[in-house]
């Protein structure tokens, strides 16, 4: 289908413009021309072409500048550069600026037709994949909102009723009833916990994380986490310790998600720790990266189970207060930061999770 396909040729050379128009005459493309960059850009805004051929060497604004502007106006417009001085450098430069391909003058009508066909196919595929990506994103959002509203909200309501009944506010409860109600409440609590973790996991969007990268101080992240976890650690008699040099360079990351990942690691270190044990967070600069380790001297993980612990829903020993999602959340967050995470562990001796993060640009 070539109907309604709009092509714009921006070239200061009249004979070149005419030659292109003639080549396209057999197809039913709607073809327009412009003799300079400014007129060309104006026409792009007006007619919204599918394909633009741009001469690199023009008086006034250059072909490269026109390419940049086209990308800003509509990144789905496909561009082909016409160059009379096809040095590899200018061709590479134009492709870096977003051009799909380049044509070297003089070119034959056959070459123009072929490159046009391929460029239009590329545009069709780009539009299709953008549409599918948007659709997938919408479905994901709809699913998240369905899970949180249709599943979580009623469960929270049921949980509150249990609290009212168990608190004796709805009349007396026999011991037998209390036991059953308490067991049911634990099940509901677990389900709510699972939904919360699952929602966290589905909300981690790598693209969003990359957009929010900022310079972050590791000490301040762990100070917040230790404050949050102090009570739980005390209940298990676990000492929390930080061994981070004061002059440690900042890292590049998204504060919210990194805090969540490190919180999960500290939370595990406490939950799988032994009464009277300790958890140590240390950090140092290593080969231009920042290495952060979270070590506990808890129950440890058997060697044959280690390859699976970052998988969704995996638990070495199923426990009522765990979902098997914590480490997959950590892994996803680290992947989005292009950070690596490793674990070493020995049963009955403890585990160490080590993360290698990128230094902030300001520190380089």
What residues line the site for ligand ADP (CB under 6 A)?
264, 268-269, 272, 296, 298-301, 309, 314-317, 322-328, 351
Q: Is the bond preceding residue 75 a cis peptide, omega within 30 degrees?
A: no
Minimum gap (Å) between residue 181 Cβ and ligand ADP: 25
Which residue lies nearer to ligand ADP by CB, 20 or 301?
A: 301
**Contact (Cβ atoms closer than 8 angstroms) between residue 138 and residue 107:** no
List the structure tokens of 274: 């032994």
Minimum gap (Å) between residue 222 Cβ and ligand ADP: 16
Which residue lies nearer to ligand ADP by CB, 159 or 315?
A: 315
Phi, psi of 10 (to 5 degrees): -110, 105
Minimum gap (Å) between residue 172 Cβ and ligand ADP: 37
Minimum gap (Å) between residue 297 Cβ and ligand ADP: 10
What is the Cα–Cα distance from 339 to 337, expressed in whole angstroms? 5
Minimum gap (Å) between residue 283 Cβ and ligand ADP: 18
Minimum gap (Å) between residue 280 Cβ and ligand ADP: 12
- The distance between the two most distant Cα atoms of the chain, rounded to a whole number of Å, is 97
Residue corresponding to tokens 């995470």:
341
> What is the strand order of the sheet 30-34 is part of?
30-34, 6-10, 51-55, 78-83, 101-104
Which residue lies nearer to ligand ADP by CB, 107 or 310?
A: 310
Which residue lies nearer to ligand ADP by CB, 35 or 323?
A: 323
Which residue lies nearer to ligand ADP by CB, 116 or 268?
A: 268
Residue corresponding to tokens 């140092």:
284
> For ligand ADP, which residue has the nearest CB?
326
What is the Cα–Cα distance from 66 to 305, expressed in whole angstroms? 57
Which residue lies nearer to ligand ADP by CB, 226 or 314?
A: 314
List the structure tokens of 6: 């709009």
Tell me the C-alpha to C-alpha distance, in Å, between residue 286 and each of 228, 249, 336, 355, 357: 29, 11, 21, 11, 10
């Amino acid at each position: 289908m070539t109907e309604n396909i709009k092509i714009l040729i921006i070239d200061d050379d009249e004979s070149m413009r005419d030659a292109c128009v003639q080549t396209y005459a057999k197809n039913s493309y709607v073809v327009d021309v412009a003799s300079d960059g400014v007129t060309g850009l104006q026409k792009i805004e007006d007619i919204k072409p599918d394909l633009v051929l741009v001469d690199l060497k023009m008086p006034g604004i250059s072909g490269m500048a026109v390419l940049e502007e086209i990308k800003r106006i509509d990144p789905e417009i496909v561009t082909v550069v016409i160059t009379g001085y096809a040095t590899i450098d200018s061709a590479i430069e134009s492709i870096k600026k977003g051009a799909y391909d380049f044509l070297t003058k003089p070119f034959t009508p056959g070459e123009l037709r072929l490159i046009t066909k391929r460029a239009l196919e590329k545009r069709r595929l780009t539009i299709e994949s953008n549409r599918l990506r948007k659709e997938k994103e919408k479905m994901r959002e709809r699913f998240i909102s369905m899970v949180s509203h249709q599943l979580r909200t009623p469960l929270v309501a049921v949980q509150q009723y249990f609290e009212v009944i168990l608190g004796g506010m709805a009349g007396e409860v026999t011991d037998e009833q209390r036991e059953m109600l308490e067991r049911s409440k634990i099940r509901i609590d677990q389900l709510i916990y699972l939904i919360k973790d699952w929602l966290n996991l589905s909300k981690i969007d790598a693209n969003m994380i990359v957009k929010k990268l900022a310079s972050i101080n590791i000490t301040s992240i762990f100070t917040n986490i230790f404050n949050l976890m102090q009570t739980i650690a005390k209940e298990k008699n676990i000492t929390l310790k930080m061994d981070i040099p004061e002059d440690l360079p900042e890292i590049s990351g998204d504060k919210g998600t990194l805090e969540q990942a490190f919180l999960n690691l500290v939370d595990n270190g406490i939950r799988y720790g032994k009464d009277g044990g300790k958890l140590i967070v240390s950090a140092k600069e290593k080969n231009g990266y920042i290495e952060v380790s979270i070590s506990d001297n808890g129950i440890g993980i058997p060697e044959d189970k280690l390859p699976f612990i970052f998988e969704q829903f995996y638990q070495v020993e199923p426990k009522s207060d765990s979902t098997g999602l914590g480490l997959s959340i950590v892994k996803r967050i680290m992947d989005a930061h292009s950070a690596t995470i490793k674990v070493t562990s020995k049963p009955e001796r403890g585990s160490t999770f080590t993360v290698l993060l990128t230094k902030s640009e300001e520190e380089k």
